[in-house]
């Protein structure tokens, strides 16, 4: 079984979601199924169909989260090196062509969210950043062509 790196915060978020699914979402869904059954004929009962579909999603997500938590390898990020990018580092990059600066935190695949500035260490950009030092240049081949970043700083 492969271990998946995750920050302590990411692990806690997964646990919180699992707890909510088990204690809130699942009981609400069971109640919705019971109410839909009480309406009679299940063959033409859209509420029942929707509730059963939701039940499948909830159970699938519970299983998925259980697996993710079981395979999580929590990486503590309190004492990260400041001389090179490692898992958990928050980095500042500058796009050489546009001059745009972007901040990213290197995280595991389970907690990556580009809108929140969290990129996976297994993504092409994450792999390019790992091990680099401020002042280094990163070249990335993307569907739109080539992007070149300067590694400005570790925050």
- CATH number, residue 32: 1.10.287.180
Q: Which domain holds residue 35?
A: 4-75
Residues ≥6 apart with Cβ < 8 Å to 83? 133, 154
pLDDT, tens digit, 9 for 90 and up, residues 15-67: 999 999 999 999 999 999 888 888 776 667 788 888 999 999 999 999 999 99
What does pTM read for this prediction? 0.78
Copy the structure tokens of residue 126.
């994450």
Q: Is 135 contained in some domain?
A: yes
Q: Is 81 contained in some domain?
A: no
pLDDT, tens digit, 9 for 90 and up, residues 69-120: 999 999 888 888 889 999 999 999 999 989 999 999 999 988 999 999 999 9
Average pLDDT of every residue of the chain: 91
Return the pLDDT at 110.
Answer: 86
Specify whether 69 is located in the same domain as 102. Answer: no
Give the domain CATH number at 114.
3.10.50.30
Q: Is 82 contained in some domain?
A: no
Q: How many domains does the chain have?
A: 2
Copy the structure tokens of residue 27.
């009981």
């Amino acid at each position: 079984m492969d271990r998946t790196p995750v920050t302590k915060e990411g692990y806690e978020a997964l646990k919180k979601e699992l707890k909510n699914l088990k204690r809130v979402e699942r009981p609400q869904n069971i109640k919705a199924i019971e109410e839909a059954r009480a309406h009679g004929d299940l063959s033409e009962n859209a509420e029942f169909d929707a509730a059963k579909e939701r039940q499948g999603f909830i159970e699938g997500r519970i299983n998925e989260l259980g697996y993710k938590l079981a395979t999580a390898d929590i990486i503590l990020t309190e004492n990260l090196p400041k001389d090179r990018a490692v898992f958990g580092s928050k980095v500042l990059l500058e796009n050489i062509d546009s001059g745009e600066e972007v901040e990213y935190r290197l995280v595991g695949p389970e907690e990556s969210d580009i809108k929140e500035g969290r990129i996976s260490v297994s993504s092409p950009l994450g792999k390019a950043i790992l091990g680099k030092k401020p002042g280094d240049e990163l070249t990335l081949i993307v569907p739109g062509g080539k992007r070149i970043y300067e590694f400005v700083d570790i925050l």
